[in-house]
């Protein structure tokens, strides 16, 4: 009985798409629909990024000012620490953080790297270069706040794979370079699942899963999960 209903519909579809002109029109309509959907999603995400960044910077400015003063009073060094990071499709951009390490921290990095097995995720749990205020900021991810500027100007988005260092990307294979196919984010799926406790291969698998399943709903879910992840501080160092 069911086949009697389905088969006529299949024949109609076959007849419809067997004609070259009709097939071209159908494919054009499909491409146009997908393009409009992509542009609409992109516009919604961009508006959400700008609004959220402005609200966070505006409402939180007393705390950001206090952090700046504490960093300055710690050792008199610069408040911000700037790095080159790799963004969308390999584009380099200036990546700011509240400085959480001693002024001469970079001089000791090579020696410390030998203590870390995977150079693609170089991060030490008890890094001796981190200052007292820096350790506290990292515990609650407050050192990442200046990156809201990158969100405002479009170099980053709220949710997406974290932007890697150029030396990390130089060790990527073709599979890992898929991470660079979308704009990097302030938070990501592995940051709400264990953060630095997750090895590189696990981070990569989660990022690629996110890219495949990316949607506004998934972004909102990750943002909601980011709040308890920040307060609990698991894997933050």
Buried b (16+ CB within 10 A) or exposed e, 12-49: eeeeeeeeeeeeeeeeeeeeeeeeeeeeeeeeebeebb
Q: What confidence score (pLDDT) does residue 128 get? A: 80
pTM (predicted TM-score) = 0.78
Phi then psi for 85, rounded to 5 degrees? -125, 160
What pLDDT is stored for residue 89 in this prediction?
92
Tell me whether strands 80-86 and 157-159 are parallel, antiparallel or unpaired.
unpaired
Phi, psi of 157 (to 5 degrees): -125, 175
- DSSP-derived secondary structure for 61-91: HHHHHHHHHHHHHHHS--SEEEEEEE-GGG-
CA 95 – CA 75 distance, rounded (Å): 22
Provide the H-helix boundaries in the chain.
2-18, 20-59, 61-75, 109-113, 132-139, 148-152, 166-169, 200-213, 216-232
- Tens of pLDDT, residue by residue over 77-94, are 999 999 999 999 999 999
**For the chain, what is the largest distance between any 2 Cα atoms, rounded to a whole number of angstroms?**
82
pLDDT (0 to 100) of residue 2: 47
**Two tokens at 29?**
């309509």
Strand-strand pairing, 157-159 and 185-187? parallel
Residue numbers in the chain where pLDDT is lower than 70 = 1-23, 26-27, 30, 34, 105-125, 233-237
Q: What are phi and psi of 175, to 5 degrees?
A: -65, -45
Residue 146 has what pLDDT? 97
Q: What is the pLDDT of residues 86-124, one digit of tens each?
A: 999 999 999 999 999 888 766 666 555 555 445 555 566
Beta bridge partners of 157: 185
Q: What sign for the dihedral angle of Cα 60, 64, 66, 67? A: positive
Residue with structure tokens 């997406």? 160
d(CA 60, CA 94): 23
């Amino acid at each position: 009985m069911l086949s009697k209903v389905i088969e006529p519909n299949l024949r109609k579809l076959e007849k419809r798409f067997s004609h070259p002109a009709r097939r071209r029109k159908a494919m054009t309509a499909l491409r146009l629909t997908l393009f409009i959907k992509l542009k609409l999603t992109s516009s919604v995400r961009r508006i959400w990024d700008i609004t959220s960044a402005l609200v966070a910077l505006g409402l939180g400015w007393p705390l950001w000012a206090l952090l700046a003063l504490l960093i300055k009073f710690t050792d008199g060094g610069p408040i911000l620490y700037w790095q080159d990071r790799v963004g969308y499709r390999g584009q380099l951009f200036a990546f700011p953080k509240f400085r959480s390490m001693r002024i001469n921290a970079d001089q000791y990095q090579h020696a410390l790297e030998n203590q870390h097995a995977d150079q693609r995720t170089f991060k030490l749990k008890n890094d001796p270069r981190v200052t007292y205020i820096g350790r506290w900021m990292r515990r609650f991810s407050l050192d990442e706040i200046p990156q809201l500027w990158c969100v405002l100007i479009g170099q980053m988005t709220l949710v997406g794979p974290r932007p890697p260092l150029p030396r990390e990307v130089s060790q990527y294979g073709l599979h890992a370079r898929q991470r660079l196919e979308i704009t990097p984010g302030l938070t990501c799926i592995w940051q709400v699942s264990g953060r630095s406790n997750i090895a590189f291969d696990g981070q990569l698998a989660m990022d690629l899963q996110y890219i495949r399943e990316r949607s506004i709903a998934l972004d909102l879910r990750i943002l909601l999960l980011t709040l308890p992840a920040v307060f609990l501080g698991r894997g933050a160092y």
